[in-house]
Chain A
Amino acid sequence: MSLEYQVFPVSTPAEGAGGKTGNWRTVRPVVTDRCIGCNACFLWCPEGTIGVVGRKAKVYYEYCKGCGVCANVCPVKAIEMVMEQ
């Protein structure tokens, strides 16, 4: 008997399974040189799309929804929110 009919409601981890939230964005966060790499933005970002790489925060724009939480929580105001073109 072929077992092809047996499918299960199982899912495996995949990046961006919640959908490409980058499309929602009207403003984008831009990390400036003031960044001290403290990771507060990483902890706070609701999408998990910013984090410290090396010494400085980096934004993954494909999924960043532009909510501005990172800019607000940054202790040194290193993130600027600029209009999307």
Chain B
Amino acid sequence: MTMRMMGMALGNNVALIVVAGCSSVIQGMGPKNSYGYPALNIAFAAGPAAASGMWRAFKQRNKDVTVVVWAGDGGTADIGFASLSGAAERNENFIYVCVDNEAYMNSGGQRSGSTPHGAVTPTTPEGKKENKKELLFLMLDHHVPYAATASVGYPHDLMDKLRRAKTIEGFRYLQVLTPDPYGWLFDPSRTAEVGKLAVQTCYWPLLEVVNGRVQVSNESLHCLRKETRRPLRDFLSVQGRYKRLNDQDYKELESYVDYTWDRILKLMRT
């Protein structure tokens, strides 16, 4: 569905690079596919580099095409990180969309670097011990002209960000929190709701950083003050993956949220 939102926001002049992951499966079987976009499917760690070659090919051919890399959180935070970091540092001219469902959903939901503390996955049956990797902050340290987060819970915000990203030249990073009912263990019809709860409880900040200037999106403004944040429990309790969470873990996650927002506040001041 994020794909459809992209269609509405970016128009037709788009070429996709799809990194191994769930999106490479849902396109269906060749020789047909269910995308409206031309897509180069490619191995896990190669997306950002292939996009670096592709946008240059369009430039050489004098064609105005927006190149978009579509990758999961595993491809972004783990195996593809070197390639992503290289392309960001070179300020390559494409949009990188990380569809973050916080695990390797394609191969059965195993933990990734983007899985949050406490989540039960097939490879962390006792709950993950480490915190989620801070991809947005990592991208900011590459001095990219555009970096933002979005949630599929707020499609209009997501589309606005894609539209803005399209107008900017250089490396653009957008990380979209995409609740996965089968990995996070909730009823599929509540996908939108879970995507909203992540934002309302301030677990997932909606941000937009243009040329280093940090802007907190409207949906997340209440998070700037601790008192106005919705309790994290409301987000965690609707998901089965946090069933192993004890009080200690809960505190850990709460302090993770505090830490994230302290860091955002600091960034806003500089």
> Is chain B a partner of chain A in the same complex?
yes
CA separation between A11 and B39, bound complex, in Å?
9
Task: Kindly identify, within residues 54 to 76 of chain A, every residue whose CB is under 8 Å from any CB belonging to chain B.
Answer: 67-69, 71-73
Chain B window 76-93, contacts with chain A (Cβ cutoff 8 Å), 1 for yes, 0 for no:
000000000000000000
CA separation between A17 and B24, bound complex, in Å?
12
Chain B residues positioned under 8 Å from A14 (CB to CB): 32-34
Chain B residues positioned under 8 Å from A18 (CB to CB): 26-28, 34
Chain B residues positioned under 8 Å from A11 (CB to CB): 27, 30-33
A43: Cβ under 8 A from any B Cβ: yes
Q: Given A14-B34, A17-B34, A48-B4, do A69 and B28 touch, yes or no (CB 8 Å)?
A: no
CA separation between A44 and B151, bound complex, in Å?
12
B32 touching A12 by the CB < 8 A rule?
yes
- Of all chain B residues, which has the CB nearest A42? B4
B35: Cβ under 8 A from any A Cβ: yes
B28 touching A44 by the CB < 8 A rule?
no
B29 touching A69 by the CB < 8 A rule?
no
Chain A window 31-51, contacts with chain B (Cβ cutoff 8 Å), 1 for yes, 0 for no:
000000000101111101000
B31 touching A12 by the CB < 8 A rule?
yes
B31 touching A73 by the CB < 8 A rule?
no
B5 touching A43 by the CB < 8 A rule?
yes
CA separation between A71 and B190, bound complex, in Å?
10
CA separation between A42 and B4, bound complex, in Å?
9
Interface size on B, residues (CB 8 A): 22
CA separation between A61 and B224, bound complex, in Å?
44
A71 touching B189 by the CB < 8 A rule?
yes
CA separation between A69 and B29, bound complex, in Å?
25
How many Å from the CB of A43 to the closest CB on chain B? 5
How many Å from the CB of B38 to the closest CB on chain A? 9
A9 touching B30 by the CB < 8 A rule?
yes
How many Å from the CB of A26 to the closest CB on chain B? 12
Q: Given A42-B4, A46-B1, do A72 and B192 touch, yes or no (CB 8 Å)?
A: yes
A13 touching B36 by the CB < 8 A rule?
yes
B234: Cβ under 8 A from any A Cβ: no
CA separation between A56 and B244, bound complex, in Å?
44
B188: Cβ under 8 A from any A Cβ: yes
Chain B residues positioned under 8 Å from A72 (CB to CB): 189-193
B33 touching A43 by the CB < 8 A rule?
no
B4 touching A17 by the CB < 8 A rule?
no
B1 touching A67 by the CB < 8 A rule?
no
Query: Could you list 25 examples of A-B contacts with CB < 8 Å?
Result: A10-B30, A11-B30, A11-B31, A11-B33, A12-B31, A13-B32, A13-B34, A13-B36, A14-B34, A16-B28, A17-B28, A17-B33, A17-B34, A18-B27, A18-B28, A18-B34, A43-B1, A44-B155, A45-B1, A46-B1, A48-B1, A48-B4, A67-B188, A69-B192, A72-B190
The chain A residues found within 8 Å of chain B, CB to CB, are 9-19, 40, 42-46, 48, 67-69, 71-73
Which 4 residue pairs are nearest across A and B when measured between Cβ atoms? Answer: A17-B28, A68-B189, A14-B32, A17-B32
